[in-house]
């Protein structure tokens, strides 16, 4: 299924090496101004070919809006946009019809689709499909920003190199959400780049973590029954991002090391009389419901499976063991380009929280 969402529904279509990719957004409120230049800036953050940390495949990733906008304002009709694929090297993938890449979806897709799946660039399993997701997120984040909700993310880790912890102040999040490969420490970014370059030179790849913060979300949203909590909504779209292998909110797995007295976030009234907590181990969510504190979560991304280093595999046609060295153009680390994708998924998740647009939650 390539559709997600209840209040605001996104459907993504296309393949990595097809003529185009795109999306349809249904359920957006009418009368919302969309700054298309701001959308293009978000698309550029995700676009390939920017430096040696990403694939050399170059795509303009300019979205063409087909419906749903009139005079740069939403009409209430489905918003549809397409993005042309202009720089494909489909011949690089010919051998993958018989020899699946370790770590990629090639083999299970071959079983499920009986060999008819599009292997060129990974087909509809490719990270290329995150481009329309970023388009959709770029539209949604503008709607949220008008309601005082600010989100931003950074490369929290590449391999063993970690960035500074995120302090989710609105101005910090705004700065992060406008940058390519955003980090909080320039020194640690240099170390991350060296880590990526070492993997690339060794014909290998490396994974990492994206950390995202969101401010301005009122208390009382989410918690629609046992399975309709905020974490469930966020996780279901985040795990739709190719290569995402883990999602953790607040203290996440580190909470398992704490006592209750350490993990519990103590309440207090601030100078304006608003309810706050002195810490935020919960990541802004308790019982699947927003607490009014910043939402904080991390998404872990595996190393790119397409690597030039020789690996063991199988020949499905000959039914024998073989080796494979992947050709083509691939990211040695997807983390820098995954940051705006995570932000976009978060924006869509937020617009699917009941009450987010009408202010029905308690503040």
The predicted model scores a pTM of 0.92
Distance (Å, whole) CA 305 – CA 207: 10
Average pLDDT estimate for 233-249: 97
Per-domain residue ranges of the chain: 3-351
How many percent of the chain have pLDDT more than 70?
92
Task: Give tens-digit pLDDT for 80-128.
Answer: 999 998 865 555 556 677 899 998 888 998 899 888 787 776 667 788 8
The pLDDT of residue 95 is 66
* Feature table: binding site: 46, 52, 124-126, 287, 302-306, 329
The distance from CA 93 to its chain's CA centroid, rounded to whole angstroms, is 25
Tokens of residue 342, six digits: 């995570």
Per-residue 3-state assignment (H helix, E strand, C coil) for the chain: CCEECCCCEEEEEECCCCCEEEEEEECCCCCCECCHHHHHHHHHHHCCCCCCCCCCCCCCCCCEEEECEECCEECCCCEEEEEECCCCCHHHHHHHHCCCCCCCCHHHHHHHHCCCCCCHHHHHHCHHHHHHHHHHHHHHHHHHHCCCCEEEEEEEEECCEECCCCCCCHHHHHHHCCCCCCCCCHHHHHHHHHHHHHHHHCCCCCCEEEEEEEECCCCCCECCCCCCCHHHHHHHHHCCCCCEEEEEECCHHHHHHCCHHHHCCCEEECCCCCEEECCCCCCCEECCEECCCCEEEEEEECCCCCCCCCEEEEECCCCEEEEECCCCCCCCCCHHHHHHHHHHHHHHHHHCCCCCCCCCCCC
- The CB density around residue 302, as the number of other CB atoms within 10 Å, is 16
Q: Which CATH class is domain 3-351?
A: alpha beta
pLDDT, one tens digit per residue, over 6-36 is 999 999 999 878 889 999 999 999 999 999 9
What's the whole-number mean pLDDT along residues 162-179?
96
128, with CB counted inside 10 A (0-12, 13-18, 19+), is: buried
CA–CA separation, 338 and 180 (whole Å): 10
Residue 310: CA count within 13 A, CB half-sphere = 2
Binding residues for FMN: 124-126, 287, 302-306, 329
Tokens 């019809």 appear where? 97
| Residue among 121, 103, 125, 126 at smallest CA distance from 113 | 125
Q: Binding site membership for NADP(+): which residues?
A: 46, 52
Q: What would the two tokens of residue 282 be?
A: 């919960």
Alpha-carbon distance of 54 to 361, in angstroms, equals 41
Tens of pLDDT, residues 157-169 = 999 999 999 999 9
pLDDT band at 241 (very low <50, low <70, confident <90, very high): very high
């Amino acid at each position: 299924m390539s559709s997600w969402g209840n209040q605001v529904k996104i459907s993504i279509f296309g393949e990595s090496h097809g003529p185009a990719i795109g999306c349809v957004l249904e359920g957006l409120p009418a009368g919302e101004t969309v700054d298309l230049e701001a959308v293009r800036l978000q698309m550029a953050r995700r676009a390939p070919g920017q430096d040696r940390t990403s694939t050399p495949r170059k795509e303009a990733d300019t979205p063409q809006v087909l419906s749903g906008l009139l005079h740069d304002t939403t009409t209430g009709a489905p918003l549809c946009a397409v993005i042309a694929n202009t720089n494909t090297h489909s011949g690089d993938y010919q051998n993958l019809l018989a020899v699946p890449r370790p770590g990629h979806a090639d083999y299970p897709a071959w079983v499920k689709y009986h060999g008819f799946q599009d292997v060129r660039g990974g087909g509809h399993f490719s990270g290329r499909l995150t481009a329309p997701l970023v388009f959709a997120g770029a539209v949604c984040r503008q709607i949220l920003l008008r309601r005082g909700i600010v989100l931003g993310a950074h490369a929290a880790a590449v391999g063993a190199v970690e960035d500074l912890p995120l302090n989710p102040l609105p101005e910090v999040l705004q700065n992060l959400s406008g940058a390519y490969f955003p980090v909080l420490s320039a020194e640690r970014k240099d170390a991350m780049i060296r880590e990526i370059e070492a993997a690339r030179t060794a014909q290998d790849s490396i994974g990492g973590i994206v950390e995202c913060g969101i401010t301005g979300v009122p208390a009382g949203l989410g918690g629609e029954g046992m399975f309709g909590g905020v974490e469930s909504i966020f996780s279901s779209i985040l795990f739709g991002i190719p290569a995402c292998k883990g999602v953790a909110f607040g203290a996440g797995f580190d909470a398992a090391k704490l006592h209750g007295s350490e993990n519990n976030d103590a309440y207090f009234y601030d100078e304006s009389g608003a309810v706050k907590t002195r810490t935020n181990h919960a990541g802004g969510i308790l019982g699947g419901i927003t607490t009014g504190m910043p939402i904080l979560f991390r998404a872990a991304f595996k190393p790119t499976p397409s690597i030039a280093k020789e690996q063991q595999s199988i020949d499905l046609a000959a039914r024998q063991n073989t080796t494979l060295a992947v050709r083509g153009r691939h990211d040695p680390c997807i983390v820098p380009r995954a940051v705006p994708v995570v932000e976009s998924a978060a924006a869509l998740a937020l617009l699917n929280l009941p009450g987010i647009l009408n202010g029905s939650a308690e503040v």
